Amino acid sequence: MLIGVPKEIKNNEYRVGLTPDAVYELHSAGHQILIEKGAGLGAGLEDAHYENAGAQLVRGPEEIFAQAELIVKVKEPQPEECKRFNKQQILFTFLHLAASKSLTEALMASGVSAIAYETVKDAQGTLPLLAPMSEVAGRMSVQAAARCLEKPVGGRGVLMGGIPGVAPAYVVIIGGGVVGLNAARMAVGMGANVSIMDRSLSRLRYLDDIFQGRVRTLYSTQASIKEQIQRADAVIGAVLIPGAAAPKLLSREDLGLMKKNAVLVDVAIDQGGCFATSKATTHESPTFVVDDILHYCVANIPGAVARSSTFALNNATLPYVKLLADKGIEALNKLPGFAEGLNIQNGQITCAAVAEAFA
Ligand SMILES: NC(=O)c1ccc[n+]([C@@H]2O[C@H](COP(=O)([O-])OP(=O)(O)OC[C@H]3O[C@@H](n4cnc5c(N)ncnc54)[C@H](O)[C@@H]3O)[C@@H](O)[C@H]2O)c1
């Protein structure tokens, strides 16, 4: 199969769909790979690495979109990319369609078969292609929160880990999945006082078990969230209902309950955000203030650590890319849960949660 990897064009996005190692494996298996020149540079992957691995370099995206049967990307396609897809193509990338009606409609109009990393499941029902980026985003959300707590950035002037004789920051993590667990690990490591809230009792039991008393686990209800945000220096939003728009857990009025200059980090912003006042931001301008509360809502957090993230993503996606290259769209039926990744086919929405978001 002819596989194409364009350079990512989203603001401050430096990741790339395939590493040279992945290209080498695909090329060795008899596939042909077109890579846009400079596509890997942001992740420290030079054109020569790709050429040595067997890829053919092309000057711009035109040839890739015109010729490739399978397009492997990282972020959701931008409007100028959507215009270039065709009916014969398979697109494999993050899509987060429930957060964008215009992107959904553009992909439907293009006729492309669009498979979203974030809704592919494995035999256990977990999300194997979202997980590595959630691990990164969860860890980075706490770095971001620590920075946002600093006064010059607009925060309360609180040191995440405290100091002898002075209490550390109180961090509340809403959603104890992959993002939540990784956020908690970093926050605990920095010495913060940490609570994780979730609606899954089995998940809370697991978290309680692995953190051995170093975090508090709390059942998430509207009332318990209101109670917790009053005490928090930083709140990290990390909930997910796969494929669906994120549930809004804080209203604008709720901000009035919080401490002045406290921080909200909305990691779920890629699914529309879990705080009513969230709106997507970029690494270039990551924060904004609503009612004295500093919001950090970067939609592509892992893009900032492009090199680590590209390797982590490829470790997870390569077996799926290989299967798609070998079998075409039939690959969806060859692995349990792979078919759940298909979001758009023949101009129709094929993911129930996305369809529901626009019903
Ligand atoms: N901004 C970024 O750059 C970035 C990067 C990676 C992931 N994400 C996003 O982070 C979010 C979380 O991803 P994940 O991999 O941790 O998902 P996950 O499925 O592993 O975890 C989500 C958790 O949320 C819990 N939950 C659902 N509703 C809840 C509620 N009302 N209250 C409390 N908990 C609730 C679920 O029980 C689950 O444990 C997703 O929206 C994902 O797309 C964003």
Listed by start position, the domains of the chain span: 2-120+305-357, 131-299
Half-sphere exposure of 81 (CA within 13 A, CB side): 25
For the chain, what percent of residues have pLDDT higher than 70?
A: 100
Contact indicator for 73, 91 with CB cutoff of 8 Å = yes
Of 4, 1, 2, 31, nearest in space to 17 by CA:
4
Compute the average pLDDT of residues 242-261.
Answer: 96
pLDDT at 242 over 90: no
Position 175 pLDDT exceeds 90: yes
Superfamily of domain 2-120+305-357: NAD(P)-binding Rossmann-like Domain (3.40.50.720)
Decide yes or no: CATH 3.40.50.720 for domain 131-299.
Answer: yes
Instruction: Specify the pLDDT at position 217.
Output: 98
Annotated catalytic residue, options 96, 198, 233, 254: 96
- The strand pair at 193-198 and 216-219 is best described as parallel
Per-residue pLDDT at 11: 87
Q: How confident is the model at residue 243 (pLDDT cuts 50, 70, 90)?
A: confident
Taking residues 151-172, report their average pLDDT.
98
pLDDT at 12 exceeding the cut of 90: no
Q: From the alpha carbon of 133, which atom of ligand 1 is closest?
A: 6
Name the active-site residue from 31, 254, 270, 295.
270
Integer Cα distance of 109 and 86 in angstroms: 9
Distance (angstroms) between ligand 1 centre and the Cα of 269 equals 10
Number of H helices, E strands in the chain: 12, 15
**Residue range 127-145: average pLDDT?**
97
DSSP β-ladder status, 216-219 and 234-237: unpaired
Q: Which atom of ligand 1 is nearest to the CA of 268?
A: 41
Same fold, 2-120+305-357 and 131-299: yes
The C-alpha atoms of residue 254 and residue 73 are separated, in whole angstroms, by 38
Compute the mean pLDDT over every residue in the chain, rounded to the nearest whole number. Answer: 97
Put simply, whether the predicted model's pTM sits higher than 0.85 gets the answer yes
Q: Which residues line ligand 1 (CB under 6 A)?
A: 118, 130, 133-134, 137, 174-180, 197-200, 203, 220, 238-241, 246-247, 249, 267-271, 299-302
Order across the sheet with 2-5: list the strands: 56-58, 32-36, 2-5, 70-72, 90-93, 113-116, 342-345, 348-349
For the chain, strand residue ranges (E) read 2-5, 32-36, 56-58, 70-72, 90-93, 113-116, 170-174, 193-198, 216-219, 234-237, 263-266, 287-290, 293-296, 342-345, 348-349
Q: CB-side exposure of 311: number of CA atoms within 13 Å?
A: 6
Read off the pLDDT of each residue in 93-103 and give the average, rounded to a whole number: 96
Mean pLDDT calculated for residue range 275-293: 97
CA 301 to CA 144: how far, in whole Å?
Answer: 10
- Structure tokens, 207: 């978290």
